[in-house]
Chain A
Amino acid sequence: MIAGSMLSYEGKKRAVLLLIALGVVIWIAVDAAAGGSAHWSRVLVRLPLLLTGSASGWPITGGFVLNIILSIASMALATVLGTIMGLATLARFGPIRVPSFLLMNFLRNSPWLVLLFATLYFLPFEMHVFGMTIPFPPFVKAVIGLALPTAANFSEVIRGAVQSIHSGQWEAARSLGYSTGQIYRHVIMPQALRRMIPGWTNLYALLMIATALATVTGIQDVLTILNTLLAVENERVIVYFYLTVLFLFIAYCYPIAAIARRRERAVKGESL
């Protein structure tokens, strides 16, 4: 009790996390000794398939690596769309600001899975533009479907960062004769960009977790492969497979979230 009260909040948090990790390790060890190791060896055999989509681990046709690729592609698209949407919601011109504000709120407040289904059914199989045929395979639909809500959330990150810049910066820049566009480019954005990084990173971790939803589009992501596998595996093993996939996501996302938190602290301490 005395030792507990002497720990700082951060220290307590770390102790709890450590305790949980220790518990998991002990549970796995005890379970393995009680016959679980046979199940784990089944998982180990299938691990290359779960990771890359092919039983030998090469070539990469899907699996967890596909989730990572999907998250990166989606984040890239979301960053572009979110920047446009964020700047549009900041516009002083009403006919630009109001619709983008409504769209942003619509996307931000819709369930991600519903948006994913919507893009799946609304987007055609392919599109003809100026004589070119642009195909929309399930992967592209998944990228778009996940990018939409992420973009809306990112536009809020941008708006928050831009509005957090002190109004004195605007006044000073205006009094120096800068135009609104120049103020954004030379004064506001360089400062806001630093404040966006934590939010952006956090959002990426969230998006990565959400890529599990993309299984509904039928792409060979880790969850689709898992489901196929379970059809051929012994029922007792299922829980071990799910734990493995869970662990893959945690192992990938936790460090990213941790980096985001650290960056957030660094930005907070910044003296302006």
Chain B
Amino acid sequence: MNRIDALIELDNVRKSFGDVPVLKGISMFVQKGEAVCIIGPSGSGKSTILRCINGLIPVDKGFVRVGAHRVHEMKSERQMRALRHQVAMVFQQYNLFPHRTALENIMMAPIQVLGHDRAEVEERARKLLKKVRLSEKADSYPGQLSGGQQQRVAIARALAMQPDVILFDEVTAALDPETVKDVLFAIRELVEEGLTCILVTHEMKFARDVSQRVCFTDHGLIVESAPPAELFDNPRDPRTREFLGQVL
């Protein structure tokens, strides 16, 4: 694979919180249309990698590029904004805006941030709600929706920005098993449509089914990166083997 052609490129990224090193030299690249899963024990820096890609956490050292944006060089929130229009994110805790309805949650950012036409955005938002199969919940407030429904609205909200990449941060970790499959179904559709996705997940079966590549992180390093069949069936690194032995 060619690094220069990659849509997202991380090289030797380091980040510490206080004295605690979280990322100790992460290097990875993601091609356009690729779905990459990041797995690993908690505290290994998975979520931090995602936040470094869209600039929510500034890196200490290293190189981060998304499309034409050189993220590691951006110093202010203002410079980040163009990047954030391209990179959407879905969170573990959904983080919908509780004072707005599901439909408004989806419409807010395209209108207020991108300045798109209201009528056009509403049409787009209704299509997205239909896509995540929540058309009848358009006028419900987040507090009236189940966790799985809120998460699907959050996915629709991310899609409404028409991003090039979506980052999924353990999006099913806070859900009960019943609703997990609805959310995973929605994500699978996106991957099949060719949207570039990076997923931090604990759903090993889903990671195996949906992704083209799986990265295993441990103690702030990417220990192993391989196509899922290879990583899950023939892990090369002993740490990967140990982790998979515990979770599978």
Docked complex Cα distance between A176 and B167 (Å): 12
Chain A residue contacts of B113, Cβ below 8 A: 176-178, 182
Asked if A131 is at the interface of the complex by the 8 Å CB criterion, the answer is no
Contacts of A31 in B (CB 8 A): none
Pairwise interchain contact B143-A271, C-beta atoms closer than 8 A: yes
Q: B10-18, B76-84, B188-196, B207-215: which one contacts chain A?
A: B76-84
Structural contact, B84 and A168, CB atoms closer than 8 A? no
Interface size on A, residues (CB 8 A): 22
Residue from the list B88, B95, B114 in contact with A171, Cβ < 8 A: B95
Distance of A85 from chain B, by nearest CB (Å)? 24
Chain A, 147-191, CB within 8 A of any chain B CB: 166, 168-169, 171-180, 182, 186-187, 190-191
Minimum CB–CB distance for B64 against chain A, Å: 15
Task: Say yes or no: A176-B143 contact (C-beta < 8 A), given A168-B95, A186-B108, A190-B99.
Answer: no
Q: Determine if B56 and A179 form an interchain contact, defined as CB atoms under 8 angstroms apart.
A: no
Q: Which residue of B lies closest to A189 (CB)?
A: B99
Chain A residue numbers with a CB within 8 Å of B143 are 270-272
Q: Which residues in chain B, 81-121, are within 8 Å of chain A measured between CB atoms?
A: 81-82, 84-85, 87-89, 91, 93, 95-99, 108-109, 112-114
SS class, residues of chain A in contact with chain B: helix
B109 and A176 within 8 A (CB) = yes
Flag if A174 contacts B56 (CB, 8 Å). yes
CA of A175 to CA of B109, assembled, Å: 10
The reply to whether the CB of B161 lies closer than 8 angstroms to some CB of chain A is yes
Is B152 part of the contact surface with A, judged by Cβ < 8 Å?
no
A153 to chain B: closest CB distance in Å? 25
Kindly list the 7 A-B residue pairs having the minimum CB-CB distance in the complex, ordered from nearest: A172-B95, A177-B84, A168-B95, A176-B109, A175-B89, A177-B113, A271-B143
